[in-house]
Amino acid sequence: MAEREWFFDIHGCKVVLLATINGLTSEIEIIRTALEKHTPDEIGLSVTSAQLANLRKWNGKEEQEEPDYSDFDLFYIREMSKFGDVLLPSPSHLYTVAAADAAGIGIVALDMDDELYTGLYVSLVTPSSLFLDSISRKRRMRKRLDGTPEEVVLKLDDIAKHPRGIVEVDREREKHMASEIRRRAMEGETFLAVVDYERSAGVRAFLENEE
């Protein structure tokens, strides 16, 4: 199994960077183990503040409606289902929020908010690249992907790195998440940062470069 957990000492705070794979229900056990082992003062999740609020709403509903899946969501579910049950919203995200709330642990959003993301997207992604992406999207999603769960999710992320400019957008998101982790680390003794596997290498690199 690929490495999923890295440790940093930031402002005297023990920071645990934990990488999880979206969708797989089996990832819940990784979160549960990390919470029991590290007993964090606070948790950061690689979602936006709006997404965090929606995860809480989802957890609070007695009956869950069918999510509005995009074509890429369906492609993602198809490929990741080779490794177990897959649901969206991600079970690991839902469990992290529910467990934190039940234990009275503060949980914060690490990803940039919608306004910042939209401004960045508009500045880096051109209309022409959006048009070209719409032409090639169906062809890309006919692929069958082989490998471990970690390898496949990285291949899926690579397929999603269209239109041109998304690579730069994701890099800025990773930089933002690393900055948020460092900022939150000033306020406690142990901080658990739960980050999507495909973003974890970039977040880790920014944290290491700033140490």
Q: What is the pLDDT of residues 97-127, one digit of tens each?
A: 999 999 999 999 999 999 999 999 999 888 8
Look at residue 211 and tell me whether its pLDDT is greater than 60: no
Nearest to 174 by CA among 123, 133, 208: 208
Mean pLDDT of the 7-29 span:
96
Q: What does residue 36 show for φ and ψ, rounded to 5 degrees?
A: -70, -40
Q: What is the pLDDT of residues 64-87, one digit of tens each?
A: 777 788 888 999 999 999 999 999
| Distance separating alpha carbons of residues 14 and 191, to the nearest angstrom | 6
The helix/strand/coil state of 16 is strand
Where do the domains of the chain lie?
5-59+69-210
